[in-house]
A and B are shown apart, each in its own frame.
Chain A
Amino acid sequence: DGGITQSPKYLFRKEGQNVTLSCEQNLNHDAMYWYRQDPGQGLRLIYYSQIVNDFQKGDIAEGYSVSREKKESFPLTVTSAQKNPTAFYLCASSIAGTGDPQHFGDGTRLSIL
């Protein structure tokens, strides 16, 4: 069954702590994306990657970091520099790039303790 798996579903962060959100896909897609969604708001692009070992900042990259060491995986780290991390985080992938349909994971809900 092909798709995108995000884990964990819920995550709690303490002050000064870095946390990493996992995103894995078995769709053989080249492009992967991370979005942040605040309550009642649209999706804002954090980072995206079109190829292994390469990624670009989106509109709200400050306080976040990513890596793309494997085609299947695109983990997002929320660093302590992100002062307001509470949000719903969605990972997506598409075949090649921004001109293709995106397939989304079920999301991770991050809260501050």
Chain B
Amino acid sequence: GENVEQHPSTLSVQEGDSAVIKCTYSDSASNYFPWYKQELGKRPQLIIDIRSNVGEKKDQRIAVTLNKTAKHFSLHITETQPEDSAVYFCCPNNAGNMLTFGGGTRLMVKP
């Protein structure tokens, strides 16, 4: 199956700082790259996604960048707020029509 890794596994930032989470994948046929946010005990929710024909996408304080050659995509959160504290997961699709989630990144935003 596809190998999906996220780094870092935990990230602590001060309120107002930026946070960057990286997801590397192994299947060059992947063409859909979403990021999900999961608050403690709750359902994951899609926060941003990108397709392989686009290099960057931005939605207010959140952006995703994609490097298909290097097989990684990153989540960027600017001006972090305490409510951004959660676990973030990447989940690229793959040619085998399967889904592999990354192990997650726990983001803590300190007021």
Binding site for B on A (CB under 8 A): 33, 35, 41-45, 48, 50, 56, 58-59, 90, 97-107
Cβ < 8 Å to A, chain B residues 54-111? 89, 91, 93-94, 97-104
Cα separation A42 to B90 with both chains bound (whole Å) = 10
Task: Provide the residues of chain B in CB contact with A45, threshold 8 Å.
Answer: 98-101
Cα separation A56 to B100 with both chains bound (whole Å) = 14
Cα separation A45 to B98 with both chains bound (whole Å) = 8
Question: Are B32's CB and A98's CB within 8 A?
Answer: yes
Question: Are B102's CB and A90's CB within 8 A?
Answer: no
Task: Provide the residues of chain B in CB contact with A104, threshold 8 Å.
Answer: 43-45
Question: Are A43's CB and B42's CB within 8 A?
Answer: no
Q: Distance (Å) between the CB of B52 and the closest chain A CB?
A: 10
Binding site for A on B (CB under 8 A): 1, 31-32, 34, 36, 42-46, 49, 89, 91, 93-94, 97-104
Q: How many A-B pairs fall under 8 Å by CB?
A: 57
Q: Distance (Å) between the CB of A23 and the closest chain B CB?
A: 12
| A41-B104, A43-B89 known; A98 vs B97 contact (CB < 8 Å) | yes
Cα separation A90 to B43 with both chains bound (whole Å) = 8
Question: Quick one: which of B42, B46, B98, B104 contacts A102, CB cutoff 8 A?
Answer: B46
Question: Quick one: which of B31, B100, B103 contacts A99, CB cutoff 8 A?
Answer: B31
Please name the 6 residue pairs, one residue from A and one from B, whose CB atoms are nearest each other, closest first: A98-B93, A104-B43, A99-B32, A43-B101, A42-B101, A42-B103
Question: Are B32's CB and A100's CB within 8 A?
Answer: yes
Task: Closest A residue to B46 by CB, please name it.
Answer: A101
Cα separation A101 to B91 with both chains bound (whole Å) = 10
Cα separation A99 to B53 with both chains bound (whole Å) = 13
Question: Are A41's CB and B103's CB within 8 A?
Answer: yes
